[in-house]
């Protein structure tokens, strides 16, 4: 287990009586806002990108596919085009990258990401941090709160 991975597991409600279909419908109208301020810990952009790739790969293993989400928004302060393309390829879907100033704070980065959510496609928003590794049912458990 990664030292930053939470040991608490979320409980996903039983998906009987059409709940699985409703869960997919909610996911299809949900945006994931991912802030990357916590990856600023040093000047090594390669290490930060590696951490972000690891996280995107982890999201790809969710029990509710992140590809089913209406939108991903990733705030960053300097991912180059090659890095952004690599992350889109890894995610298997398009990602919306929002560049922020290097002085933008943690909560402001989340708010900037929230402001970039496409309100015509998204009814719900979930927030994630770049330094947290979610368990496999994190997204399902989070989206299920709207059931």
The CATH number that applies at residue 79 is 3.90.550.10
Task: Report the predicted TM-score, pTM, of the whole model to 2 decimal places.
Answer: 0.83
Q: Counting beta carbons within 10 angstroms of the beta carbon of residue 33, is it exposed (0 to 12), middle (13 to 18) or buried (19 or more)? A: buried
Judge whether 3 lies within some domain: no
CB 31 within 8 A of CB 119: no
Q: Which domain holds residue 53?
A: 19-146
Judge whether 42 lies within some domain: yes
In angstroms, the CA 89 to CA 78 distance is: 18
Judge whether 10 lies within some domain: no
End-to-end CA distance of the chain: 30
Mean pLDDT estimate for the chain: 85
Judge whether 12 lies within some domain: no
Judge whether 4 lies within some domain: no
DSSP state at residue 134: -
User: Which of 71 and 44 is assigned the larger pLDDT?
Assistant: 71
Judge whether 128 lies within some domain: yes
For 91-103, what is the mean pLDDT?
92
Q: What are phi and psi of 137, to 5 degrees?
A: -110, 15
For 65-93, what is the mean pLDDT?
92
Number of domains, the chain: 1
111: its two tokens: 């708010």
CB 31 within 8 A of CB 124: yes
DSSP state at residue 47: H
Judge whether 131 lies within some domain: yes
Judge whether 13 lies within some domain: no
């Amino acid at each position: 287990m990664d030292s930053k991975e939470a040991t608490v597991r979320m409980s996903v409600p039983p998906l009987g009586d059409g709940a699985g279909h409703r869960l997919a419908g909610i996911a299809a109208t949900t945006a994931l806002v991912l802030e990357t301020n916590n990856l600023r810990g040093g000047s090594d952009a390669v290490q930060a990108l590696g951490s972000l790739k690891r996280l995107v790969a982890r999201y790809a293993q969710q029990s509710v596919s992140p590809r089913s989400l209406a939108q991903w928004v990733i705030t960053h302060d300097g991912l180059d085009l090659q890095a952004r393309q690599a992350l889109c390829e890894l995610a298997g879907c398009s990602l919306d990258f929002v560049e922020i100033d290097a002085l933008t704070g943690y909560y402001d980065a989340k708010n900037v990401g929230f402001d970039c959510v496409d309100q015509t496609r998204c009814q719900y928003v979930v927030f994630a941090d770049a330094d947290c590794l979610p368990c496999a049912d994190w997204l399902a458990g989070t989206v299920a709160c709207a059931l």
